[in-house]
Amino acid sequence: MSEAHWMEVRVLVPETDQLTLEELEQSILGITPGGFAVESWDAPPSERDAVPIGSTRYLVYVGEEQLEDARVRLAHAIAAWPTAAVEVARLPEGWRDRWKLYFKPIDVSPRIVVAPPWEVPAASDRTVLLVEPGMAFGTAQHETTALCIAGIDALYGERCPRTVLDVGCGTGILGIAAAVFGATDVLGTDIDPNAVLASRENEALNRAVTGAARFVWATTPIDEVTGDWELVVANILTPTLVLLASPIVARVAAGGRLMLSGILAEHEAEILEAFVPLGLVHLGTATKNGWIRVDLSKP
């Protein structure tokens, strides 16, 4: 089948609890076993309209001759969401690579520039981190990822945490950035197996700048992670951060740092109410276009 005969089915549903969405995702996998894409309302810009706040959009790819069957099965799968919507678009030739138009090199901190492998910038005084996102989140195009890298850069300018835990690692970019500055042991966890695969691939792309750092990428839940870590970074959305506050704090070593992002500015108080009573000290908050990074320490 040529690319011109592929269709993109866009399924927009309101965000609910993760377990309910997992059931929907299993149904979608039955329609497109090769996988699907997910766009949240805070996703970077693309050719599609922005996802409404509070919604999730699934991008399902099927051949034109499978379209009607896919629509029937999707209608059954989203029956629990009366406000859900389905749109269909014919994909143009070369559609698989069109998203690359939106991923350009970006200076994210005084010492780091993030770039895709197909557009490496000219030599500069910044270290270039190469990121192939695959189906994972974290290209530094989004404010939360950029905030975290800037925070890591600043932290390593004053001290050098050797052990780093990245909760919700996405593309692995945060752990890789820490290794550039001197981290020797990095553990990245994510509930999405695609994120683990993307992190491993990006680790391989950046071996020239991460030295002898040891990396482990896994789907291990945070409450099953062992040991404590000098730096813990969690760039995930506020409801999940609040839910996981206790196990996240438990993994921060005495004297260690915790960086939290994926947080809209109006949710700062909610984050502090969840984390400070667990024995942390609020060091400060960085802001970028309505998003924040909250920095804490464990005495």
Q: What does the alpha-carbon distance between residue 299 and residue 116 come to, in Å, rounded to a whole number?
A: 39
Task: Verify that 60 and 207 share a domain, yes or no.
Answer: no
**Tally of structural domains, the chain:** 2
Task: Verify that 270 and 158 share a domain, yes or no.
Answer: yes
Residue 203 has what pLDDT? Answer: 96
Segment 136-151 shows an average pLDDT of 81
Quote the percentage of the chain above a pLDDT of 90. Answer: 51
What residues have CB less than 8 Å from 277, skipping those under 6 apart? none
Segment 154-165 shows an average pLDDT of 96
Q: Is 291 left (phi over 0), alpha (psi -120 to 50) or beta?
A: beta
DSSP 100-140: GGG---EEEETTEEEE-TTSPPPP-SSEEEE---TTSS--S
Task: Verify that 161 and 76 share a domain, yes or no.
Answer: no
Task: Verify that 123 and 241 share a domain, yes or no.
Answer: yes
What does the mean pLDDT of the chain come to? 87
Residue 287: pLDDT band (50, 70, 90) is very high
Task: Verify that 145 and 84 share a domain, yes or no.
Answer: no
Task: Verify that 91 and 155 share a domain, yes or no.
Answer: no
Residue 220: pLDDT band (50, 70, 90) is very high
Task: Verify that 179 and 278 share a domain, yes or no.
Answer: yes
Sheet hosting strand 37-40, strand order edge to edge: 37-40, 55-63, 6-14, 85-90
Q: What CATH number has the domain bearing residue 20?
A: 3.30.70.120
| 172: three-class secondary structure by DSSP | coil
Residue 289 has what pLDDT? Answer: 85
Query: What one-character DSSP code corresponds to residue 43?
Result: P
What the block records as the tokens of 174 is 């945060």
What the block records as the tokens of 133 is 């996102």
End-to-end Cα distance, the chain: 60
Q: What CATH number has the domain bearing residue 225?
A: 3.40.50.150
What residues have CB less than 8 Å from 189, skipping those under 6 apart? 165, 166, 167, 168, 169, 217, 218, 219, 220, 221, 222, 225
Residue 231 has what pLDDT? Answer: 98
Q: What does the alpha-carbon distance between residue 235 and residue 64 come to, in Å, rounded to a whole number?
A: 38
Packed helices 173-181 and 143-158: angle between N→C axes, nearest 10 degrees? 20
| Secondary structure element (H or E) that encloses residue 298, with its range | none
**Residue range of the domain that includes 74:** 3-99
pLDDT above 60: residue 56: yes
Query: What one-character DSSP code corresponds to residue 1?
Result: -
Task: Verify that 80 and 110 share a domain, yes or no.
Answer: no
What residues have CB less than 8 Å from 227, skipping those under 6 apart? 163, 251
pLDDT above 50: residue 290: yes
pLDDT above 60: residue 75: yes
Inter-residue contact 136 to 43 (CB < 8 Å): no
Tell me which residue has tokens 């678009």: 89
- Choose one of 99, 127, 147: the last residue of a domain: 99
Task: Verify that 25 and 173 share a domain, yes or no.
Answer: no
Task: Verify that 27 and 121 share a domain, yes or no.
Answer: no
Residue 125 has what pLDDT? Answer: 87
Task: Verify that 135 and 240 share a domain, yes or no.
Answer: yes
Segment 242-266 shows an average pLDDT of 96
Q: Is the pTM of this model over 0.85?
A: no
- Choose one of 70, 99, 128: the last residue of a domain: 99
Inter-residue contact 194 to 236 (CB < 8 Å): no
User: Which tops the pLDDT comparison, 228 or 22?
Assistant: 228
* Per-residue pLDDT tens digits for 170-196: 899 999 999 999 999 999 999 888 789
Task: Verify that 169 and 267 share a domain, yes or no.
Answer: yes
Query: What one-character DSSP code corresponds to residue 91?
Result: P
Q: Which residue from 292, 291, 258, 263 is spatially nearest to 275, judged by alpha carbons?
A: 258
Residue 210 has what pLDDT? Answer: 95
Q: Which of 49-53, 88-92, 197-201, 216-220 has the highest mean pLDDT?
A: 216-220
- Choose one of 52, 78, 99: the last residue of a domain: 99
pLDDT above 70: residue 134: no
